[in-house]
């Protein structure tokens, strides 16, 4: 794995000012609102947030998978020098599964139940590469071995229902790896799995990013997974990144009151028998969100200043920045 300083010098993905809005009858839902971040080669970026924070929609926006009434209204997405938003749909299709791949949450839904694994995998190779079926098959087998599937030749002949949940997720990861993409977006891939199986998947992922140098965006609500896996973390709230920085800095010295609140709410961080520290209230509706900091209603530091929306500014450790007027760590001018 490349350390974060080196990764910053050579980003494989640069997202700047991304805005994805949904134009519904009830109003405009700003699911992703001014999101900017970079991911370096071989780097693991954890995208953390609660449900409705826009973390999955950020992933879908990068893949170009936003359906109407949703639309990317602003911002740029640059993958290895290619501006993804300027591409035609056909060119975008050529990027998906080839240069940029996604692993979805539910391994039961991602695989076609009526096609054998080999058919699905070979199809994915042939869609992007001019190779023979034999070469494609060999590559599919190689990918299965990489994700730790025993007896790959027999497994290629099997249908998805013959696999367990953990194995299906391994197959989904193998498919994402097939064309050796520059970037993999993983949307809560271990949420549906048991702890011991989740451990196995995380082990494989960690090994793969180390070996192949593929950049990885790991979308999750589970701070403990991010703590062990990610190099850098972006914390999202109500469609915005409220804090980003190295995993160590953000989790040990959170700058945003929301990050602090999230960490305090984790039962493992609390004394038994003591009241859990909780964030009051609930996530605001993204429909016609009032201006200003979206967290101010739940924040104990909020004052009149928070009525206007804060900008991202550097604070705390190197590479750490926060979108808050009252950060919990010193701000750099």
Q: Does 197 bind other proteins (CB under 8 A)?
A: yes
Q: How far is the CB of 298 from other proteins (least distance, A)?
A: 8
Pattern 38-77, other proteins, x by CB under 8 A: ------------xx--------------------------
Stretch that binds other proteins, among 83-91, 108-116, 137-145, 274-282 (CB under 8 A): 274-282
89 Cβ neighbours under 8 A, 6+ residues apart? none
Q: Does 279 bind other proteins (CB under 8 A)?
A: yes
Nearer to other proteins, 9 or 278 (CB): 278
Q: How far is the CB of 248 from other proteins (least distance, A)?
A: 4
Q: Does 151 bind other proteins (CB under 8 A)?
A: no
Cα 86 from Cα 7, distance rounded (Å):
26
Q: Does 108 bind other proteins (CB under 8 A)?
A: no
Classify 231 in phi/psi space as left (phi over 0), alpha (psi -120 to 50) or beta.
alpha
Cβ–Cβ under 8 Å, residues 46 and 233: yes
Q: In what order do the strands lie in the sheet with 82-83?
A: 27-40, 11-24, 70-79, 82-83
CA 188 centroid distance within chain? 8
Q: Does 223 bind other proteins (CB under 8 A)?
A: yes
- Cβ density class 212-231: b for 16+ within 10 Å, e for less: bbbbbbbbbeebebbbebbb
Q: Does 257 bind other proteins (CB under 8 A)?
A: no
Classify 258 in phi/psi space as left (phi over 0), alpha (psi -120 to 50) or beta.
alpha
Q: Does 203 bind other proteins (CB under 8 A)?
A: yes
The single residue among 272, 291, 304, 333 that binds other proteins, judged by CB under 8 A, is: 272
Cβ–Cβ under 8 Å, residues 327 and 315: yes
Q: Which residues bind other proteins (CB under 8 A)?
A: 50-51, 164, 166-167, 194-200, 202-203, 206, 221-225, 227-229, 231, 247-252, 261-270, 272, 275-279, 282-283
């Amino acid at each position: 794995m490349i350390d974060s300083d080196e990764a910053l010098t050579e980003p494989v993905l640069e997202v700047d000012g991304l805005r994805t809005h949904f134009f519904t009858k009830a109003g405009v839902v700003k699911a992703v609102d001014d999101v900017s971040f970079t991911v370096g080669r071989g780097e693991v970026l954890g995208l953390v947030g609660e449900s409705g924070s826009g973390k999955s929609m950020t992933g879908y926006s990068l893949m170009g998978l936003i359906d109407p009434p949703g639309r990317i209204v602003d911002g740029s997405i640059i993958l290895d020098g290619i501006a993804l938003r300027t591409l035609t749909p056909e060119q975008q299709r050529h990027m998906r599964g080839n240069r940029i791949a996604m692993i979805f949450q539910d391994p039961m839904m991602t695989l076609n139940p009526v096609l054998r694994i080999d058919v699905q995998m070979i199809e994915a190779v042939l869609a992007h590469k001019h190779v023979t079926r034999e070469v494609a098959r060999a590559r599919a087998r190689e990918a299965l071995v990489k994700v730790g599937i025993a007896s790959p030749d027999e497994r290629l002949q099997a249908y998805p229902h013959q696999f367990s949940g953990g194995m299906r997720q391994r197959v989904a990861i193998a498919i994402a790896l097939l064309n050796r993409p520059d970037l993999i977006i993983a949307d809560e891939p271990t949420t549906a799995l048991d702890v011991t199986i989740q451990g196995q998947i995380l082990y494989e992922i960690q090994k793969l990013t180390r070996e192949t140098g593929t950049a990885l965006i790991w979308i999750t609500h589970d701070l403990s997974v991010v703590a062990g896996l990610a190099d850098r973390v972006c914390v999202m709230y109500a469609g915005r990144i409220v804090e980003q920085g190295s995993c160590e800095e953000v989790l040990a010295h959170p700058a945003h009151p929301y990050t602090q609140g999230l960490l305090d709410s984790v039962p493992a961080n609390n004394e038994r028998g003591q009241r859990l520290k909780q964030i009051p209230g609930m996530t605001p509706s993204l429909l016609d969100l009032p201006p200003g900091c979206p967290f101010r209603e739940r924040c104990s530091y909020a004052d009149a200043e928070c009525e206007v929306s804060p900008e991202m500014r550097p604070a705390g450790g190197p590479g750490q920045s926060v979108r808050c007027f009252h950060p919990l760590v010193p701000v750099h001018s």
